[in-house]
C-alpha cells in the first residue's frame, strides 16, 4: 500500500524514483521561513520523512501524528531527539557506513594542509609575495612519524587511524568510550585517557558524535593541556569545541594551527576571528561532500526508509527499541 513520504532535501532523480515507485512523495528542496508552514502541514498525514540539515523536534513532530519512520541523509543524529522519537513510536535511521572513507580523507587533508600551511602558502604565491627563495617564515612542520591523537575511535576515527599509521608511520593514541582491539591490532593504536592524549599528541583529531556528553568537551582546560605547537583538527561537529577558547589558544600561540570543517554556527560568520588567522584552515562542512558519497548516502537513506515502512528495517536503525519483532 502506498503511503505518503515527505522529502525535505533535493536528491538525484534516481533516488526520487526509488521512493516514488513505492509511495507518494511530497518534495521540498530545502526548508526555510517561506515554506516551513507548508512543510509542517504536509506532515499531518505523512508516514515517512527523509532529508537532512533541519531540526526535527517536538514543534514539528506534534503535527505528524501518523509518522512512523524518519530517515536522515547523514550519519549525525544531532538534529533529532531519539528518546522522544522512541516515545512517539517513530523509528530513526541514518547512513553510518557510506561516508566513512570520504570524511576520513577530509580529516587527513586538514592534517596535511595545516601542517604544511598549504592554503596560506597558496595565497602567498597568488599575492605575488614569492619573489625569492623561501626561508623559515614559510616553513611548516612534518606529518610523517608524528603522534596523532584521535578522540572517538568509531568508523571514521578508525579510517583516519589507518591512513595515519599505514600511510604516514604515525603512532596513534585514541580516547573512546571503550577500547577498540581491532584498531589496536591493525594500526598499533594505544588506548589512553583524554588528558594523556592531549598532552602527548602532535595532532589531535576530533571524530566523536555530538551528544550532551560531548558538547563542549574540548574547552579552555583541555586546550591548555595540548602540547605547545600542536594542531587541532575537527571533522565532527563544531559544538564539541569551545570556539572562544580555541580562538584564545590560537591567538596566544599555544597551538600551531587548526583545521576545521565544522563550526559552532554554520555557516560561520564572515567576521569570525578564526577566519582572520592564517594558521586556520576553514572548510564549509565538506566532510562527505563528493558526488559519489552524497549520492550513496541518499540511496542508503531512501532504502532505509522503504525498509522501515515495509516493516523490514534491520540495519542503520538508531533506536531499535521502537521496532516490533516480526512473528516467528
Which residue numbers are catalytic?
237, 266, 285
Judged by DSSP in three states, 190 sits in strand
Of the candidates 125, 131, 183, the one whose C-alpha atom is nearest the C-alpha of residue 172 is 183
In this structure, the number of other CB atoms found within 10 A of the CB of residue 97 comes to 14
Alpha carbon distance 145, 162 (integer Å): 14
- Where b means 16+ CB within 10 Å and e means fewer, 221-253 reads ebbebbbeebbbbbbbbbbbbbbebbbbbbeee
Of the candidates 46, 39, 38, 98, the one whose C-alpha atom is nearest the C-alpha of residue 69 is 46
Q: How is residue 182 written as a grid cell?
A: 581491532
Alpha carbon distance 269, 277 (integer Å): 14
Alpha carbon distance 166, 168 (integer Å): 6
How big is the chain, counted in residues?
328
Give me the residue label for grid cell 536503525. 317
Amino acid at each position: 500500500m502506498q503511503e505518503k513520504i515527505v522529502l525535505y532535501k533535493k536528491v538525484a532523480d534516481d533516488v526520487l524514483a526509488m521512493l516514488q515507485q513505492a509511495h507518494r512523495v511530497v518534495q521540498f528542496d530545502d526548508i526555510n521561513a517561506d515554506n516551513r508552514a507548508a512543510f509542517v502541514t504536509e506532515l499531518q498525514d505523512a508516514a515517512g520523512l527523509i532529508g537532512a540539515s533541519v531540526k526535527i523536534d517536538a514543534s514539528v513532530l506534534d503535527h505528524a501524528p501518523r509518522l512512523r519512520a524518519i530517515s536522515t541523509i547523514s550519519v549525525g543524529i544531532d538534529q533529532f531527539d531519539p528518546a522522544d522519537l522512541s516515545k512517539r513510536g517513530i523509528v530513526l535511521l541514518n547512513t553510518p557506513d557510506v561516508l566513512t572513507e570520504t570524511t576520513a580523507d577530509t580529516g587527513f587533508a586538514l592534517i596535511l594542509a595545516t601542517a604544511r600551511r598549504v592554503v596560506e602558502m597558496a595565497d602567498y604565491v597568488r599575492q605575488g609575495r614569492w619573489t625569492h627563495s623561501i626561508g623559515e617564515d614559510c616553513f611548516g612542520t612534518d606529518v610523517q612519524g608524528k603522534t596523532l591523537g584521535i578522540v572517538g575511535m568509531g568508523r571514521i576515527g578508525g579510517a583516519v587511524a589507518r591512513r595515519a599509521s599505514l600511510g604516514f608511520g604515525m603512532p596513534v593514541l585514541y580516547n573512546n568510550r571503550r577500547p577498540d582491539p581491532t584498531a589496536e591490532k591493525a594500526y598499533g593504536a594505544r588506548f589512553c585517557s583524554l588528558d594523556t592524549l592531549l598532552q602527548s599528541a602532535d595532532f589531535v583529531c576530533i571524530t566523536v558524535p555530538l551528544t550532551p556528553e560531548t558538547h563542549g568537551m574540548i574547552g579552555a582546560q583541555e586546550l591548555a593541556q595540548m602540547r605547545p605547537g600542536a594542531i587541532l583538527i575537527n571533522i565532527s561537529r563544531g559544538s564539541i569545541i569551545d570556539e572562544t577558547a580555541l580562538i584564545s589558544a590560537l591567538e596566544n600561540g599555544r597551538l600551531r594551527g587548526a583545521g576545521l570543517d565544522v563550526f559552532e554556527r554554520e555557516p560561520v560568520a564572515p567576521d569570525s576571528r578564526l577566519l582572520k588567522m592564517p594558521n586556520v584552515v576553514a572548510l564549509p562542512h565538506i566532510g562527505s561532500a563528493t558526488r559519489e558519497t552524497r549520492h550513496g548516502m541518499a540511496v542508503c537513506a531512501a532504502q532505509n526508509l522503504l525498509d522501515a515502512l515495509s516493516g523490514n528495517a534491520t540495519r542503520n536503525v538508531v533506536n531499535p527499541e521502537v521496532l516490533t519483532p516480526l512473528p516467528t
